[in-house]
Amino acid sequence: MEISENRFISLIRKFGRNNKRIVRGIGDDGAVVELDRGQYVFVQDAMVEHVHFEFSFMDPYFVGKKALYSNISDILAMGAEPAFYLVTTGISPGMSSKDMVRLYKGMDRAAREFGLTLLGGDTVAAKNDFFIDISVIGKLAGKSYYGRDKARPGDHIAVTGKLGQAAMGLKALQGNSVEQGMKACVDRFLSPKPPYAVWKDLVKNDITDAMMDVSDGLLMDLSRMMAESKKQAHIDFERVPMPRYLRQNGLEHLALSGGEDYQLLFTFPEEKMPAISAMSEKYEGITVIGRVLDGRGVRVFHKGKEMDMPMRTGFDHFGGRS
């Protein structure tokens, strides 16, 4: 396609008709709908063979597990507790019943970890490549959704975990070379469990303004948040958390543009800094990396000097122009 994924989404927004029950529609990690007994969040995400994974290095068990994790990550980022899921699978030639059982066992493992119940779905024959498409439904855990459009000037920007792990893990699997110190990266690519305990504390203490997950790379996802919030982000590159292996081998760019870490990216006001500091002592891996200002876009600074933005800021399904 000749346009980017972001541009494509902006073009299809007009097809999302106005409805008074829709609190938040197209343009975020999920949709928020007002129903009779509260607000519910609906998310949907797919994985396609040869685009997101290869069966040559990824067992169907991990494909199923990761596919559900990615949806759970989206619904948590919206501030909702996941409850139910539906699955559509396109079974490619050569897949066995054993493969499909492994796939569903992986999903079931993820579902049990987060308390989800499978409602049903659909199964079709795919002529070529396998695909899996999952929808998750959940109820808002707090007073309102978080979303990408709520960052405010003066907010701090923070992330959970280490960024670039999954991208490094993918490189290792593609090269069939898992060196010492890279096991955690491979594990993050195969089984990127969202940081549920941290999320629950963020919701319980009403800490965040804006939130989303890091699925397509820090720069890409933060750019989307700033576009929705109509604000500018300043990032201190030295603070961006990443595996030691990346810094030692000149691969720091993966922490900015590598995707599929499924960590939380969020903003919070100055008065919530004591709560974040307390959480940082309780959980490893909450890092404040920048601030929100008036303006537009994302600017990254290294030792006080602004860095040139890479041509590729993250994963784009279409890879076209903005």
Alpha-carbon distance of 298 to 310, in angstroms, equals 12
Greatest extent of the chain over all pairs of C-alpha atoms, in Å: 57
Report the b/e string of 57-82 with b at 16+ CB within 10 A.
bbebbbbbbbbbbbbbbbbbbbbbbb
Q: Can you give the chain as a three-state secondary structure string?
A: CCECHHHHHHHHHHHCCCCCCEEECCCCCCEEEEECCEEEEEEEEEEEECCCECCCCCCHHHHHHHHHHHHHHHHHHCCEEEEEEEEEEEECCCCCHHHHHHHHHHHHHHHHHHCCEEEEEEEEECCCCCEEEEEEEEEECCCCCCCCCCCCCCCEEEEECCCCHHHHHHHHHHCCCCCCCCHHHHHHHHCCCCCHHHHHHHHHCCCCCCEEEECCCHHHHHHHHHHHHCCEEEEEHHHCCCCHHHHHCCCCHHHHHCCCCCEEEEEECHHHHHHHHHHHHHCCCEEEEEEEECCCEEEEEECCEECCCCCCCCCCCCCCEC
Which residue intervals of the chain bear CATH 3.90.650.10?
Answer: 156-306
pLDDT at 8: 57
Q: 293 CB contacts (<8 Å, ≥6 apart)?
A: 153, 154, 231, 232, 233, 234
How confident is residue 1, by pLDDT bands cut at 50, 70 and 90?
A: very low
CATH 3.30.1330.10 occupies which residues in the chain? 5-140
Looking at domain 156-306, its CATH superfamily turns out to be PurM-like C-terminal domain (3.90.650.10)
Token code pair at residue 44: 């949907």
Read off the pTM: 0.86
* pLDDT score at 157: 99
**Which pairs count as long-range contacts for 244-252, CB under 8 Å and 24+ apart, including other chains?**
244/181, 245/168, 245/179, 245/181, 245/182, 245/185, 246/164, 246/168, 251/164, 251/168, 252/164
- pLDDT per residue as tens digits for the range 186-198: 999 999 999 999 9
Sort 8 into a burial class: Cβ within 10 Å, 0-12 / 13-18 / 19+.
Answer: middle
- Which tokens go with 190? 């195969």
Pick 5-140's CATH classification: 3.30.9.10, 3.30.1330.10, 3.90.1150.10, 3.30.1490.190. 3.30.1330.10
Q: How far apart are CA 166 and CA 192, in angstroms?
A: 8
Residue 35 has pLDDT above 80, yes or no: no
Identify whether the C-beta of residue 124 lies closer than 8 Å to the C-beta of residue 88.
yes
pLDDT tens sequence across 142-196 = 888 898 999 999 999 999 999 999 999 999 998 877 676 788 999 999 999 999 9
pLDDT class for 29, splitting at 50, 70, 90?
Answer: low
pLDDT tens figures, 76-102: 999 999 999 888 999 999 888 899 999
